[in-house]
Structure 1
Amino acid sequence: MRTAKTAAFAGVLTAMSVVLLFVGVIVSPLSYVLPIATGLLMILLIESVSVKSALLTYFSTSFLSFILFGGKETVLFYVFFFGYYPILRLSLSKIKIKLLRFILKLLIFNVAMAGVQLVLIYVFGIPFDNMFGKMGIALFFIALNLIFILYDFTLDMLVTIYDKKLKRKITGIIK
């Protein structure tokens, strides 16, 4: 019975993730916010079930979103970073030197965001236009880095809140 409940829980979170990404595709201003929110759902799976379930949900959501949606920017943000980062954080948290851990997180994030932009430009033919020129591109990446730092801090807070207040309730429902 536990396996069925776990699969159902992962399926529901996959469906919620796909719906959130769909809304991000439809409502343009949310195309950056909803991949972040969708990534936060992974915390529930990682903490309540397992990393394996979180990975399956990540791959399922990525696959379904690419097939179903025309707006690729939202999906690419999820696929390239926000979907798997909560899972990757577990490995990165084992690095004892905080500065090294922080630099590595920023490096992974920036490589992923550059990858998103390159895929958008060279695969999907979507130009990276900016009315502010090269300075605007630099400001865009600075803003993305600030958002990432807030996101990482938020993940830490959510894990703490989840462990203290929700874990027992959700694990009780699943098991």
Structure 2
Amino acid sequence: MRDISYRVALGGIVSALCLVTMFLAGVIPALYLLLPGIAGILLMIIAVEVNTPWAFLTYIAVSMLSIIITFDKEAALIFIMFFGHYPILRFYIQKIPLRVARLIVKFLLFNICIIAYFYVTVYIFGLDEMLEEFDDFGRYGSYIMLGIANFIFLIYDLDLDLMYRGYLKRILPIFRKKR
């Protein structure tokens, strides 16, 4: 267990980097899904370096600040509802021994979060344009979009695994040498 000053400093640095990426989502609207995903990957550093409860505290801090500070509230909402907590929860999900059960839990969590995100966006924030976009795809448009989202989630999950392994093998040894 690291001392408290190290945890606070690392949490502050990662929080600042997460907020910068969330802020950039408002500046570059085309990246409103990619940048919250990158911010979520940054939270994995806290989970690896300190522990997962500290990573959840950092996630809560970034979530509250991103709602207040960032321009793109939709990007902040997708960070809060999925990209912020999933990389941390993934550490617990990876402990499930059966690979099939692990995959089912991951997809179940993703679909619950994404469907909740959709309903919050449409019915609480009143962005009815999303419903009109689904009408263009016809009767099964929402199912097609959910299928595409699940495929992209699979790629994101593989990317998280690659980032985690790369951090452990390449970046972490460099930090360990300097201390």
TM-score by length of 2: 0.89
Deviation >4 Å, runs of 4+:
none
Conservation of the 8 A alpha-carbon contact between 2:47 and 2:88: yes
Amino acid at match of 2:149: L
Q: Cα–Cα, structure 1 residues 134 and 64, in superposed 2: closer, same or farther, change >3 Å?
A: farther
Does residue 1:164 correspond to 2:169, yes or no?
yes
Instruction: Find the counterpart in structure 1 of residue 53 from structure 2.
Output: 52
Any residues of structure 2 matched to 1:29-68 within 5 Å, and which? 29-68=30-69
* In 2, Cα distance between equivalents of 1:138 and 1:25: 28
Shift, 1:172, TM fit: 5.4
Does residue 1:132 correspond to 2:137, yes or no?
yes
Quick one: percent identity of the two aligned structures?
31
Alignment deviations for residues 102-126 of structure 1 (CA, whole Å, 9 cap, x no partner): 0111011011001111111111100
Greater RCO, CA 8 A, separation 6+: 1
Amino acid at match of 1:18: L
* In 2, Cα distance between equivalents of 1:99 and 1:111: 18
Instruction: Find the counterpart in structure 2 of residue 118 from structure 1.
Output: 119
The alignment partner of 2:80 has SS state of: helix
Instruction: Find the counterpart in structure 1 of residue 158 from structure 2.
Output: 153
* In 2, Cα distance between equivalents of 1:49 and 1:172: 17
- Which structure 1 residue ranges, 5 or more long, are not aligned? none
TM-score by length of 1: 0.91
- Which structure 2 residue ranges, 5 or more long, are not aligned? none
Conservation of the 8 A alpha-carbon contact between 1:48 and 1:170: no
The alignment partner of 2:140 has SS state of: helix
| Superposition RMSD in Å | 1.8
